[in-house]
Each structure stands twice: as structure tokens, then as C-alpha cells.
Structure 1
Amino acid sequence: MLDDFMTRATLAGIGVAFAAAPLGSFVVWRRMAYFGDATAHAAILGIALSLALNLSIFPGAIAVALIMALTVSALSGRGYAMDTLLGVLAHSALAFGLVAVSFLSGIRIDLMAYLFGDILAVSRGDLAVIWGGAALVVGLIAWRWSALLTSTLNDELAYASGIDPKREQLVLTLSLAITVAVAIKVVGVLLIAAMLIIPAAAARPLSRTPEGMALIAALIGSASAVVGLRGAYVLDTPAGPSIVCVAALCFVATSLIRAFKPGNQAG
């Protein structure tokens, strides 16, 4: 069954959706959209380092994404506005990564595949890494779910409950780095943040509990992967962007549902 490239691509898309759904919910709740984008952009530098050292792209991407996330956490609140800090670091890392890639003259690189994904070229080995990373992220989030929710609500409440908000931030940072690394092959560096944010945002109007939002986000992300891949196959469009387009349409649909709910109408 895994000999079929569409089957592998579909399983890869679903794996990324399951990793991104619970993490994306926290990204939405904590307003960390730019944080996720900066971490994803930094991954290009990690890819360049991995290729230069003749390694798999995953260790380099995870390492640099984690360093970026930890750097942002360490520098925040030290005289720089968060959006300014994230903008400087994200675009600097992307620029240095692209320059570093240009020096790898002895290696054939499909830069577009790293920027926008190449899900149709996912191998069995890639599939194992994607699902292994997804399982690790889901396990981390599930293990710290209650503590993460408490620290998301209020730092003082977390301290009163014996929870260290900085430790929970580190869990999210590690999960984000892993998700970025495994999603590169599927949607690419420039669209990873979209798969984190859009399914979670689309799930918000349909859910009444945090757990429900994470579950619905996973279903929306998975459906977006399946429908987007099918649409890309039929219409001959890029697979990664097609998946994100379907997720965006889901967001529009759920936003309209919320807008036309009886309780939300004037009168």
C-alpha cells in the first residue's frame, strides 16, 4: 500500500495535521502566530547546515528551530517589542539560510521544495519521521495538557498551582521545533505557520472546550490534507499550497457559521 505516492502523501499530511492541531490551539490561545512563523523561517538555516554536513534535514531543522525559539524566549522583555524581535530574527535567519544554501555548490537543491513543500516526494523513511515526530508532539502536549492550559490562562494562577510557566513554555517551544522539522517536507517553511494556525482558528467557533478545539482542529487539518491533495492531483496545482487553501476555506466556512448563529445576530 505504501508503494503508492498518493497514499504516502496523504498519510504524511494527516501526520502533520495531528502534530499541528493541539500545538496550533496553544499558538492561537497564546497569540504566538509570529513566534511560529519565526521558528519556521529559521529552519532554512538548519537545512543548509544539515546538507553541508551530509546529514538528514531533520536534525538540523530541529536544532536551529529550537535555538531560534529559545533565543526569542530569552530576549523577550529586554527592551524590544516582541513583533520587532520576531521580525528581525525570522527574516535574518531566512536570509542567512538562503545565503548558506547558495554556497552548497556541490549539492543539488530544490529550494522550492523546502519553501513550499514537496509532499508528493515523501518516502517511507520520511513518513516514519513525520509520524514519529507527530507522536512525540502529541505525547508531550497530552502529558502537560493541564499545566499548559493553566499557564496559558494566567501566570499567577500557574504559580499558585505549583506550575512553572517558563517550563511549560519550554515544552511548547520543543514541540514547535519538532513540528516545524517534520512539516517541512509536507507544506514547506513558508506555509508551516498556516497549518498551525488556520485549522485551530477554524475549529474555534465549533468547539466549547479546549480539548474539543484540539480534536476538531486535527479533523479539519486532516480533511484539508486529503481534499487538498485530491484537488492538487485533479487540477495540477502545487500540493502544499492547495492543502492550505482548503484549510483557509474551512476557516471561512466556520467563521460564517459563527456569524449567522442566532445568538450572534443583532436584534
Structure 2
Amino acid sequence: MSTAPIVRMNIITGTIMLDDFLIRAILAGLGLVLATGALGCFVVWRRMAYFGDSTAHAAILGVALSLAFSMPIYLGTLGIALGMALAVAYLTARGQPMDTVLGVLAHSALALGLVAASFVPSMRTGLDAYLFGDILAVTRTDLIWIWGGAAVIAGLLIWRWQRLVTASVNEELAMAAGIDPARERLILSLALALVVAIAIRLVGALLISAMLIVPAATARGFAQTPEQMAGSATLIGAVAVLGGLSASLWLDSPAGPSIVAVSAVIYAVSLVVYRR
């Protein structure tokens, strides 16, 4: 049975009505890009792509534990993602190489998550939904979690914006201005953990980093200021969500990967336009 969205035509009025689950998918996607647009800029500036990947992979363990103990998926995922962020901050502060710490923790947590998933019957048959996302299956409760988390992330970034930008541009300059770069890095890590928790149901653990990186990388070639880049990345992410859901409708393709594919196409087009 096809999982593609359904659009119903009202023959009498000649108008097109979207099914409820497609509307929820659109709202969920827009809520996600509200968080990933600006946050993705910091991921690009600080070259934290591997951190996002590692946190997303570790989140599978949170999903398995949530299902095993009948907890909300978002709470279990958030707990593991926050634990990952704090563990990385603790170990790197004590001289451990960042890439090594991320590799060890991410692969260990992913392996534990897959082992735990094998003991959870409901997850054993639906693991693809958490690896690649299932944005078409979001509920009204999911929307509350997604928009609530996105609002927290957006508020946090607005509150710390100048400090985060300064620490991202030059840590020595930040220290001279009385800003602690380690604290700002930890704040970004916690924000990334939260976005992983709200995004895993939408685009899956394997595609979360793409939603953070690709729109921001696309906006980087055209923006003149950090604020312009954040706004452009959010707009590009929104276009990718709408385009990806439309592609899923007409091609009967998976919605999450379709969204990422559209964002990749936009990035490729931007390279051609920027070069000209």
C-alpha cells in the first residue's frame, strides 16, 4: 500500500483539499526547519557535522529504550542525545581528541541501540521509520513536541546569538570580550541534541545532519551577514520540505529522503548560479 500523501479534489467547488496527515507533515517540516536553519549555520561555521551525525546515531538507543519502557519517544531520545553531548564535552575538556571521542561514543551507542531494538518487537519491524524518518505519520501530539522544541532552540539562539557568532568566528576574540568559548560550544551541543530528538521521527537518524548542513551550505554562498545566512537557510529548508513532500506525492517516494534530495538539488543549482 502506498504511503504517499493523498490530495482530494472537490468536484463541486473545483478546489483541492489536502488530507489532514499531509497538513501535519507540512507543519512538522516547517517546525523542523525553524530549528535547523540557524543552528545549521553554526554547524557549518564550526565544522560540527560529525557531531550531528554522532548524536543522531546515538539517538537510536534512546528510541529503543523509550519503546522498551513505554516512554515518549522524544524523552528517551532527548535523554540519550543530551548524555552524548555532555559526555563529549567532558572528555574533550580533558584532552581527548574530538573525532576519536565522537567515533567511540557514536558507534558504541548505535550498536547498543540496534541490540536493544532486537529485543523490542515493535521496533524490530519498524526500524526503517527511525533510520529514514516517517514525516507522514506525525500526530498532533508530535506537532506539539516539534514546535515546542523548535521554539526553545530558536529562543536560545536569539538569546545567545552574538556570543555564539563571536565564539564561532574567533575563540581568542571571544575570550578577549569576556565570552567563554567552551560554554558556547556546550550550548550548541545541547541545542543539537534537542534538534535530534525532535527530528528523528521526521527525517530519521541517518538524514538529520543533511537537514542541518545542506540548507546552511546553500545559503553560505549568497549571504553577506550571519543573520542573512540564518534566514536564508531557514527559507531554503522550508522550500525543501514543501518540494520534498510534493515529490513524495507525485513519485510515491519516501518523504524524508525526498526532502533531503530536494535540498541537495537546490544546493547543486546554487553552485551553478553562484559560479556564474
Q: TM-score, normalised by structure 1?
A: 0.93
Percent of aligned positions with the same letter in both sequences? 59
The aligned length equals: 260
Q: Distance in 1 between matches of 2:94 and 2:156?
A: 29
The match for 1:64 is 80
Q: Contact between 1:46 and 1:61, CA under 8 Å: does it hold in 2?
A: yes
Q: 2:237 aligns with which of 221, 236, 249?
A: 221
The match for 1:263 is none
The match for 1:6 is 22
Q: Distance in 1 between matches of 2:74 and 2:122?
A: 20
SS at match of 1:187: coil
Structure 2, unaligned runs of 5 or more: 1-16
Q: Contact between 2:130 and 2:200, CA under 8 Å: does it hold in 1?
A: yes
Change (3 A) 1:36 1:140: same
Structure 1, unaligned runs of 5 or more: 261-267
- The one-letter amino acid of 1:220's match is I
- The one-letter amino acid of 2:66's match is S
SS at match of 2:179: coil
Which aligned segments of 4 or more residues in structure 1 are displaced greater than 4 angstroms? 77-80, 106-109
Q: 1:39 aligns with which of 52, 55, 59?
A: 55
SS at match of 2:201: helix
Q: Distance in 2 between matches of 1:107 and 1:179?
A: 22
Q: Distance in 2 between matches of 1:20 and 1:120?
A: 19
Q: Equivalences for 1:39-118 in 2 at 5 Å?
A: 39-76=55-92, 78=94, 80-105=96-121, 110-118=126-134
Deviation at 1:79, TM superposition (A): 5.6
Deviation at 1:218, TM superposition (A): 0.3
SS at match of 1:85: helix
Structure with the largest fraction of helix:
1
Q: Distance in 2 between matches of 1:52 and 1:15?
A: 28
SS at match of 1:76: helix
Greater mean deviation of Cα atoms: 6-15 or 164-173: 164-173
Q: Distance in 1 between matches of 2:91 and 2:42?
A: 21
Show CA shifts across 1:76-122 (max 9, x none).
26565432332222122111101111112477751110110000001
Q: 1:230 aligns with which of 246, 250, 270?
A: 246
When the two chains are superposed, the root-mean-square deviation of aligned CA atoms in Å is 1.7
Q: Equivalences for 1:192-231 in 2 at 5 Å?
A: 192-231=208-247
Q: Distance in 1 between matches of 2:122 and 2:102?
A: 33
Q: TM-score, normalised by structure 2?
A: 0.90
SS at match of 2:221: helix
Change (3 A) 1:250 1:107: closer
